Structure 1
Amino acid sequence: MDGIDQFSTSGAYVHAGEEFTRDTNYIEDRITRDGVPGAKGEPGWRVEPDRYRLVVARACPWAHRATIVRRLLGLEDVISLGICGPTHDVRSWTFDLDEGGKDPVLGIERLQQAYFTRFPDYPRGITVPAIVDVPSGAVVTNNFPQITLDFSTEWTDFHRAGAPDLYPEALRDEIDTVNKRVFTEVNNGVYRCGFAGSQAAYDAAYERLFTALDWLSERLAVQRYLVGDSITEADIRLFTTLVRFDAVYHGHFKCNRAKLTEMPVLWAYARDLFQTPGFGDTVNFGQIKQHYYIVHTDLNPTQIVPDGPDESGWSTAHHREGLGGRPFGAGTAPSRPATEG
């Protein structure tokens, strides 16, 4: 989820002398079991099968979370998926991967069109993930932290049999606490390094990032998952940054104290998740690299996309089973093949 000003979809630029600050003003409408009225006075966005389309980009870590949660919970048959290409211009993410360059359900070339349908003068970045109301063609929300929580708590009537509880009520306070630190120091921390506008801003961001990664390594050295003994929302939020770390953040964002592969606990933890259905089968390293290295021309003016790193290590043994726990708790793994996302 990138967005700072009305002219930007990536929202991440180097501003000389400044620390990178992420815009966290989202369209805060929610889709709920009972239907919460919308910001423009709509009668309410109610959970309904086949009404909404989740628009993502495989490249984007914030959208990747929603793709994983949708798959783990088995919501593929009730919430359709639109996939933007890995690159975009200053106006919008585009559907250039689809035939004719148009989303086959929404019939639009740019995600911007769904935003403007609802907010003709929408002043902020056109961001993914976004949920679009298919009948009206209007964006409902781009509030990425809330989207996945609502998938877990408001869409339960449509979860697959055996769907895991990714946000168990008894653990929510701890999950929220962990998520807050992971977001500020890791998920957003890599961006603060990459788009620091001064040496001092970069040095401070670098120190905060690796202090948090050290903390996570210590925590995960004695437990298989971040909170409790099965996968939760917290693991999903951390994974989407870790899986991009060596491919993008280590070099492109100068997060180079160590590669993920040189941090033994986090590397084993990330491989454990990658090899779990719903995680690695939603990763597209090619599109991840294309996005960052082509779009961020202030960091990479040549737009050359690196060939490495070698991806074969992701399938090697992780030996995390010895820490106990069950990936899906009392639930089961998704059995349907990952045919999209």
Structure 2
Amino acid sequence: MSEKEQVSCEIKVDNARSNNNAKKPEEISADGSFKRQQNRFTTPFGNEPGELPVEAGRYRLLWSAACPWAHRSVIVRKVLGLENAISLGTASPLRPRIGRVDWAFSLDDNSKDPGLDIQYISDVYFNADADYAGRPTVPVMVDIEKKQAVNNDYFKLTHYFETVWSPFHKQNAPDLYPEHLREEIDAISDVIFHEVNNGVYKCGFAHSQEAYEQAYDVLFARLDALEERLSKQRFLLGDYITDADVRLFTTLARFDAAYYTAFNTNRNLIREFTHLWGYARDLYQTPGFGETTDFDAIKRHYHTSITINPDKDEVSILPKGPDLSAWETAHNREQISNKQEKFLIK
């Protein structure tokens, strides 16, 4: 790139950032309901022309421990043993107060990600698209050499880790997305996304009483149905953990500590559901789940930071509860399936 071209590109990025600063993403509909933005970088990983090549050491996964969408990808990365193939960068749970919604690497030395030498998540988005105007989201897979976002498709990212990234799985890695169950996994994951994962956000970000109450009713109707389902089987699809369980867990883990109060999802705590609570503890006590769950980061983000509105007044009160020791108590869920092992090994 010539010096002239480089200057032109930098001006274009600066203008895009100014526009992003001036206007928050339009994710609230006319009726006051929350409509999540579409993912911008969705090129799949694979070995076909036009796909992102699957190469160890080529990409860095950026996340924040506060984010449920990012947490699911980190759980799967850990469970499958992809740590040596895909490096990890961790942004602070506290949004930077810079006039736009972003994620910052303020936890690292010099406030820069050590693997990419960037200050904000938005840097990799603008490096990939100087006109990017949405919220820079996590998780995002980044080409390390180019420092560009290549995939932020949180809905499919774990599936890529489970399938085309299999050459880099650890020995005896579990099968979280078994071929004979994929149709069922996809179906229940779609319901969980709309009614639970995103359902809590539809409650918390609603801008009208009607939109809030509609989302609230849908959310708890689904939680009631899941409570009934889990009274008869250990996990969502039977005796073994699948990708669908990962997706549900990240919302359940945040529910009592954050969503119940911050998003007004206050009909029941998860620990007041007999089977959902036992199920959540069963997963939490599984390698890869509890060790990647940071309750302090979750509480700090949802109670003391901004979310999608950069103009929101800063909140200073951090709740002391709930008592986290309950997550380590016995769940006895293995009695439902009469199996000790939780994973289906390939």
Structure 1 unmatched runs, 5+: 38-43, 332-341
1:132-171 to structure 2, matched below 5 A, reads 132-171=142-181
> Following superposition of structure 1 onto structure 2, how do residues 88-237 of structure 1 map, counting pairs within 5 Å?
88-89=95-96, 90-237=100-247
Equivalent position SS for 1:281: helix
Which structure's residues are more often helix, by fraction? 2
1:311 is matched with 324
Deviation at 1:91, TM superposition (A): 4.5
Give the one of 32, 37, 43 matched to 1:23.
37
Q: Separation in 2 of the partners of 1:28 and 1:100?
A: 31
What residue in structure 1 maps to residue 92 of structure 2? 85
* Structure 2 residue aligned with 1:241: 251
**In structure 1, how many angstroms separate the alpha carbons of the residues matched to 2:290 and 2:188?**
23
Assess, with a 3 A threshold, how the Cα gap between structure 1 residues 61 and 11 changes in structure 2: closer, same or farther: farther
Change beyond 3 A, Cα 1:172–1:197: same
Report the alpha carbon displacement of residue 8 of structure 1 after superposing the two structures with TM.
9.9
- Give 1:71's match in structure 2, choosing from 78, 81, 97: 78
The residue identity in structure 2 corresponding to 1:47 is: V
1:10 positional shift: 9.7
Q: 1:288 aligns with which of 298, 303, 306?
A: 298
Structure 1 partner of 2:7:
none
Asked if 1 retains the 8 angstrom alpha-carbon contact of 2:27 and 2:35, the reply is no
CA 154–321 in structure 1, closer or farther in 2 if over 3 Å, else same: same
- 1:213-236 alpha-carbon deviations (Å, 9 max, x no partner): 011011110000101321100000
- Aligned to 2:138, the other structure's residue is in SS state coil
Number of residues paired by the alignment? 320
Structure 2 match to 1:274: 284
Q: Secondary structure at the match of 2:195?
A: helix
Shift of 1:118: 1.3
| Aligned-pair identity (%) | 47
1:66-118 CA-partner distances (Å, limit 9, x unpaired): 00000000000010000001012324211111111111110111111111111
Contact 1:68 1:236 (C-alpha < 8 Å) held by counterparts: yes
Structure 1 residue 55 and structure 2 residue 62: aligned? yes
Shift of 1:308: 0.9
Name the TM-score, length of structure 1 as normaliser: 0.89
Change in Cα spacing, 1:36 to 1:67, as seen in structure 2 (3 Å) is farther
User: Which amino acid letter does the alignment assign opposite residue 302 of structure 1?
Assistant: V
Whether contact under 8 Å (2:305, 2:315) holds in the other structure is no
Residue type of the partner of 1:330?
I
Contact 1:6/1:124, CA 8 A, preserved across alignment:
yes
Amino acid at match of 2:179: E
* Matching residue's letter, 2:60: R
Quickly say closer, same or farther: Cα 1:274–1:155, change in 2 above 3 A. same
CA displacement 1:209-261 (0-9 Å, x = unmatched)? 00000110111100001013211000000000000000011111111111011
Deviation at 1:35, TM superposition (A): 4.7
SS across alignment from 1:165: coil
SS in 2 for 1:251: helix
Q: Are the structure 2 counterparts of residues 300 and 289 from structure 1 closer, same or farther at C-alpha, using a change threshold of 3 Å?
A: farther
Residues 92 and 301 from structure 1, CA distance in 2 versus in 1: closer, same or farther, beyond 3 angstroms? closer
**TM, length-normalised to structure 2:** 0.88
Partner of residue 329, structure 1: 344
* Separation (CA, whole Å) in 1 of partners of 2:323 and 2:23: 29
| Unmatched tracts of structure 2, length 5 or more | 1-18
